[in-house]
A and B are shown apart, each in its own frame.
With several copies, the nearest count.
Chain A
Amino acid sequence: MPQMSMIEAIRDAMDVKMAADENVVVFGEDVGYFGGVFRCTHGLQQKYGTNRVFDTPINESGIVGSAIGMAAYGLRPCVEIQFADYIYPAYDQIVSEAARLRYRSGEQFTAPITIRTPVGGGIFGGQTHSQSPESLFTHIAGVKSVIPSNPYDAKGLLIAAIEDPDPVIVFEPKRLYNGPFDGHHDRPASNWSKHPLGDVPEGHYTVEIGKATTFREGEDVTILTYGTMVYVAEAAVNETGINAEIIDLRSLLPLDVDAIVKSVEKTGRCMVLHEATQTSGFGAELAAQVQERCFYHLESPVVRVAGYDTPYPHAQEWDYFPGPARVGRELKAMMETV
């Protein structure tokens, strides 16, 4: 099986869909001739021409807004927002338009668009290259949100997103583009070529939107997480020796409630872990649901480990980032609670 980085897997997903469906078009800032600042669309314009892969003005609202119009026409736009930190100018188009088109038009018009955007920190990118705004979208009825943590899922979810009849936001943890990252920024970077999840089948396959995966089985506590934090959780587990079950949610909306409930009922404890700021982060929804659904199985409160409620700082990145030490500390503390 070919070995791919997450960037290659993402590119391959678009390639597979563009080859199979001539209605798939790809555009965004610098994605055309240059192939994207992270190179995710590299080579696609050459292969499919400027009619189907092109650069756009620096106007995120226009990227999403024009995609909506194209989708209404019958195309399947897959667009890139260069960094999730720049998605806010498109927020109105996503929330008021893409998310509601089907509902308000009696299903005459729909918006099967895919919005890819790099999220998360760990690249010393400061407040405008590090944000994780997923919960600002999970609150919006009418959009789906997914976030892969490895090349296999990245390709499968992106193909599923492009095929989905409704708008899907694909959050791409940029710190994972080239290799898994466990939060130990001071250690050498690893890359996907040495990782089993870098095995990516050729051609078409999908990862179902709405299904979580058990990244690591365990008995004592469930860690609900996604994106980069999957590896941080793994590191913390290895370093503390706590036998945690790590659930990689992959899809935030719809959410795989069954997988969550099953695991928490087994372990009796739950940590939710994400990079985004804590207050009203997606962890709040997870904690709320877990206590709603597993209350009588819980031996201790659901613990949230998340970004501090500050803008993403630059120099203090490794104090801010919820790394394995912090996660480990919280894990130990919660295992001591009775």
Chain B
Amino acid sequence: MSEYKPLKFNVPEPTGRPGDQPDFTYVQIPEAGSVRRPEIDVPATDIKDLATTMIRVMNTAGDAVGPWAEDIPDEALLNGLKAMLRTRAFDERMMTLQRQGKTSFYMKCTGEEAIAIGHKAALMKGDMNFPTYRQQGLLLSTDYPIVDMICQILSNEKDPLKGRQLPILYSARSHDYFTVSGNLGTQFIHAVGWAMASAIKGDTKISSAWIGDGSTAENDFHSALVNASVYKPPVIFNIVNNQWAISSFRGIAGGDKATFAERAHGYDIPSLRVDGNDFLAVFAASRWAAERARRGFGPTLIEWVTYRVAPHSTSDDPSKYRPKEESDAWPLGDPVLRLKNHLIARELWSDERHKQAESEYDEEIRVATKEAESYGVMGAGSSPKDMFEAVFEDLPPHLREQRQKMGV
């Protein structure tokens, strides 16, 4: 046996850093329509191949093709596109608010809009989402009051969360939107618990858990999958793989060689890997998983392949760690443009209507922002009294004492 050579320490590197040309050759993109669509009662072991391919429905011509091309009502598609436009308009306006110093912090979902919005469209009222901070589409595709969202962002007197929580960490039980945690990954197991409860009660509600590629590294990713593996509750695990976690690329989460979708297999949980910029694919895969869950066939994990076009947050500058042009080079395109083209191809939409819709949402959000600002910005209007409330249902003596001492 030969001598052993010194071991080497391996630290994976992304395909590009500032100054480099973007290189997305690692993204293997199968033809739209080429991936099979199994029955919803399929065992996990029979669809392992679906974790390493990519389910896509829209082809380059904008047509919906293949077995995942569902019969979606026109209305639903139009709503999807509109919600994406609305979300994009919202994100832009909120960035402006932050730059104006009216809020401290904001996070955009640019380029990822199809995922939350397409998924939400496939769920039913009462199905609870356990989102991260980048699923504003779950709210913006519903009738949840935009003014309330902005008031939360401004932490003003009408903030539904009374100034207690950071901007964008919304909570909207009425709209099946679980309170967003600032701690990564913790909500994944909450979604499992929620789904277990639905099964325990013999209800038909399902839950949908959200996590980023980077955050799959957190330990509660495992607690969620282990429990789902054991109790087979009606939960959908959504991994939004937008390639980056602040400055770390997906390889630092172990997602370079194996796909995130493959994580499910060791837990006997079926998984799909889906083009997250393809609204039709998002909707179809979500409906499949939701139906599977609701019919009692248990959890599904879906890896949504997408790209974080925006900076991580308003505190971040991605030009420090990735090629400037990377987002333009992203091979799966812009979800808004792609659905727009599809709808135009189906003669349900036009460039004019698109422009018009853009300015409508811009206007809607401008007006809502104006109203929200009138209730205060940057925490103004919040009440110190609220600080002591809701720690417990009833104010315990020591908090009453502290509040009294403060004189509020």
B220 touches A58 (CB 8 A): no
Once A55-B247, A102-B391 are accepted as A-B contacts, the answer to whether A313 and B9 lie under 8 Å apart by CB is: no
A59 touches B217 (CB 8 A): yes
Once A34-B247, A57-B226, A66-B189 are accepted as A-B contacts, the answer to whether A73 and B218 lie under 8 Å apart by CB is: no
A102 touches B393 (CB 8 A): yes
Once A34-B246, A62-B224 are accepted as A-B contacts, the answer to whether A315 and B159 lie under 8 Å apart by CB is: yes
Smallest beta-carbon distance A198→chain B, Å: 24
Interface residues in B186-227 by Cβ distance below 8 A to A read 186, 189-198, 200-201, 207, 214-215, 217-220, 222-224, 226-227
Does any Cβ of A come within 8 Å of B386's Cβ?
A: yes
Interface residues in B148-187 by Cβ distance below 8 A to A read 155-156, 159-167, 169, 171-173, 178-179, 181-186
Please choose the segment from B73-81, B137-145, B331-339, B397-405 that sits at the chain A interface, where 4 or more of its residues have CB less than 8 A away: B397-405
Does any Cβ of B come within 8 Å of A128's Cβ?
A: yes
Does any Cβ of B come within 8 Å of A214's Cβ?
A: no
Which A residues touch B248, using CB under 8 A? 29-30, 55, 58
Residue of B nearest to A82 (CB): B246
Residues of chain A touching chain B, judged by Cβ–Cβ distance below 8 Å, are 25, 29-30, 32-34, 37, 50-52, 54-59, 61-62, 65-75, 85-86, 88-89, 92-93, 96-97, 101-110, 124-129, 141-142, 144, 165-166, 210, 253-255, 257, 278-279, 308-311, 313-317, 319-320
Give the docked Cα–Cα distance between A336 and B220 (Å): 52
| Residue with the highest number of chain B CB atoms closer than 10 Å, among A54, A69, A257, A308 | A69
A124 touches B227 (CB 8 A): no
A69 touches B399 (CB 8 A): no
- As a 0/1 sequence over residues 110 to 152 of chain B, the CB contacts with chain A under 8 angstroms (1 = contact) are 0000000000000000001010000000000000000000000
Once A109-B171, A279-B398 are accepted as A-B contacts, the answer to whether A58 and B184 lie under 8 Å apart by CB is: yes
Once A97-B190, A106-B161 are accepted as A-B contacts, the answer to whether A142 and B218 lie under 8 Å apart by CB is: no
Residue of B nearest to A95 (CB): B183
Q: How many A-B residue pairs have CB under 8 A?
A: 265
Give the docked Cα–Cα distance between A62 and B155 (Å): 32
Give the docked Cα–Cα distance between A315 and B252 (Å): 35
Residue of A nearest to B235 (CB): A69
Residue of B nearest to A37 (CB): B246
| Residue with the highest number of chain A CB atoms closer than 10 Å, among B189, B392, B397, B403 | B392
Give the docked Cα–Cα distance between A142 and B389 (Å): 11
B252 touches A69 (CB 8 A): no
Q: Name 4 extra pairs, CB < 8 A, besides A70-B200, A319-B387.
A: A30-B247, A57-B223, A73-B201, A314-B155
Choose one: B160, B398, B399, B403; the contact of A257 (CB below 8 Å): B398
Which A residues touch B227, using CB under 8 A? 56-57, 59, 62, 66
Once A69-B193, A105-B171, A109-B178 are accepted as A-B contacts, the answer to whether A254 and B397 lie under 8 Å apart by CB is: yes
Residue of B nearest to A164 (CB): B393
Smallest beta-carbon distance B9→chain A, Å: 5
A210 touches B396 (CB 8 A): yes
Give the docked Cα–Cα distance between A330 and B390 (Å): 27
Smallest beta-carbon distance B233→chain A, Å: 9
B215 touches A58 (CB 8 A): yes
Give the docked Cα–Cα distance between A105 and B200 (Å): 25
Does any Cβ of A come within 8 Å of B388's Cβ?
A: yes
Give the docked Cα–Cα distance between A311 and B386 (Å): 12
Choose one: A108, A124, A310; the contact of B379 (CB below 8 Å): A124
Give the docked Cα–Cα distance between A313 and B197 (Å): 31
Interface residues in B296-315 by Cβ distance below 8 A to A read 315
A313 touches B247 (CB 8 A): no
Give the docked Cα–Cα distance between A66 and B247 (Å): 21
A57 touches B254 (CB 8 A): yes
Can you list 13 A-B pairs, Cβ within 8 angstroms, ordered by A? A62-B192, A69-B191, A69-B196, A73-B197, A75-B197, A85-B183, A104-B179, A108-B172, A165-B392, A314-B167, A316-B383, A316-B384, A316-B386
Smallest beta-carbon distance A100→chain B, Å: 8
Which B residues touch A129, using CB under 8 A? 166, 182
B393 touches A165 (CB 8 A): yes
B181 touches A96 (CB 8 A): yes
Residue of A nearest to B180 (CB): A104
A109 touches B179 (CB 8 A): yes
A126 touches B166 (CB 8 A): yes
Give the docked Cα–Cα distance between A13 and B166 (Å): 33
B190 touches A72 (CB 8 A): yes
A59 touches B390 (CB 8 A): no
Choose one: B11, B215, B253, B391; the contact of A103 (CB below 8 Å): B391
